[in-house]
Amino acid sequence: MKVTDAQRGVLALLIVTVVWGTTFPATKLLSSEFNALQIIALRFGVALIVLLPLLWRTRATEWRWGLGLGSLLFIAFALQMEGLAHTSSNRNAFVTGLNVLLVPLLGLLIGQRPGWLLWLSCLLAMAGMIGLFWEDVPWGWGDTLTLCSTLFFALYIHALSSAGVRNQLAPLRALHLTATQAVAMLALSCSVLSVGQQGLPWNNLQAASAAQWLSLLYLGTAASVMVVALQAWGQRHVPATPSAIIFGLEPVFAVASAWVLLGERLGAMAWVGAGLIVLALVLSQWPTRRGPSILAHDRASAS
C-alpha cells in the first residue's frame, strides 16, 4: 500500500507531539536555575549553533515567514515557561493542550468549516483535557499564564498552515524556516533580558547540574531543531484543525515523561481523559462519505 504525503504528515506530527510531551519535565528541571526568557535564549542558542550554516542560503520569503512565526512562537514559549515555573509539569501540559479547541474556533474566524466528526473529535479531546486536569489543587497564576500561551500556540499553528498554503509554488524549506525562527527566538529573548536587566543566561551555566545540561542539549537539538522542522513539513500536508487534534496527545506523553523523570502521578480520572484524547485522534482520521478521511478532505479544501 502506497503511503501518501498526508499520512507521512500525520506521522511527522505524531513524532512532534511525543517530543513536545517530554519537553515539560525537561524544562521544569531547568526552571530551578533559569527563568523563562533565559531558558528560551539557551534553548534556541543551541539550535542556532546547529542550524547556522543554513542561514547563508536562506531565501527572503523564508526570512520573512520565519521571523514572523518566530515572534509568535516566542510569546507562546515565554508565557508557557513562566507558567511552568508556577505550576506542575502535568498541569502546564494539560492547559497547553486546550489549543485542540482553540484552533478550530480561530478557524471559524477565517472562514474554515470543519466537518461534524472533527468537531466531535475536538469535544472528546476537550473532555479528555478536563479529565486530565481534574485535581484538588485550585486554578493558579501559572495556569492562567499557560492558558494565555495556548492562544498564541493556536495562532502559530494557523500561521504555519498559511505559510504552506501561500508558498506552494516555491515551498518554504523546513530547516531554513526553523533556522530563521531560531534567530527570532534568540534575538527577542536576549533583547527582553537586556532591557529588563535580568542577566544573560550563559553567566549561570557553570552552576547547572549534569541533568540540566542534558535537558538543555535535548531541548536545543531534538525539541528546537528536529521537531520545529518536522512540524513545518508536516503541516504542509495536514491542515490546522486535524493538526490540533494530533497535538492533543501532547499531555498524554507529558504524563508519561513526568512520571518517569519527576515522579509526578495521576489518578484514574486522568487516565480516562488520556483515553478520550486517543479516541479523538482516531475519530479525526476516520473515513467519511465526503472523502477517504477527514484529513484528506480538509487538505483538499485547503489547497
pLDDT at 176: 94
CA distance linking residue 172 with residue 155, whole number of Å: 19
For the residues of 176-225, what is the DSSP string, one character each?
HHHHHHHHHHHHHHHHHHHHTT---GGGGGGG--HHHHHHHHHHHHIIII
Q: Between helices 240-247 and 294-302, what is the axis angle to 10°?
A: 140
pLDDT at 286: 63
pLDDT at 130: 78
pLDDT at 143: 87
Better-scored residue on pLDDT, 106 or 136: 106
Q: pLDDT tens-digit profile of 233-291?
A: 888 888 777 777 787 777 777 777 777 776 766 677 777 877 787 777 667 656 555 44
Which residue matches cell numbers 480538509?
298
294, pLDDT greater than 60: no
pLDDT at 63: 97
Of 62-76, 120-134, 203-217, 262-276, the range with the highest mean pLDDT is 62-76
pLDDT at 43: 93
pLDDT at 263: 73
CA distance linking residue 280 with residue 179, whole number of Å: 33
Q: Rounded to the nearest 5 degrees, what angle is found at the Cα of 237, between the Cα atoms of 72 and 18?
A: 65
Q: Which residues pair with 291 in a beta bridge?
A: 288
Tell me the average pLDDT of the chain: 81
* Lowest-pLDDT choice from 6-15, 116-125, 222-231: 116-125
Where residue 302 falls among pLDDT bands split at 50, 70, 90?
Answer: very low
- CB atoms near residue 32 (< 10 Å): 10
CB 202 within 8 A of CB 195: no
CA distance linking residue 162 with residue 190, whole number of Å: 28
pLDDT at 202: 75
What whole-number percentage of the chain has pLDDT above 70? Answer: 87
CA-closest candidate to residue 74, choices 171, 180, 211: 180
CB 154 within 8 A of CB 99: yes
CA-closest candidate to residue 96, choices 149, 137, 48, 141: 149
CA distance linking residue 268 with residue 209, whole number of Å: 34
CA distance linking residue 156 with residue 257, whole number of Å: 25
CA distance linking residue 170 with residue 132, whole number of Å: 42
303, pLDDT greater than 90: no
Q: What mean pLDDT is predicted for residues 63-88?
A: 92
* Lowest-pLDDT choice from 150-159, 171-180, 234-243, 246-255: 246-255
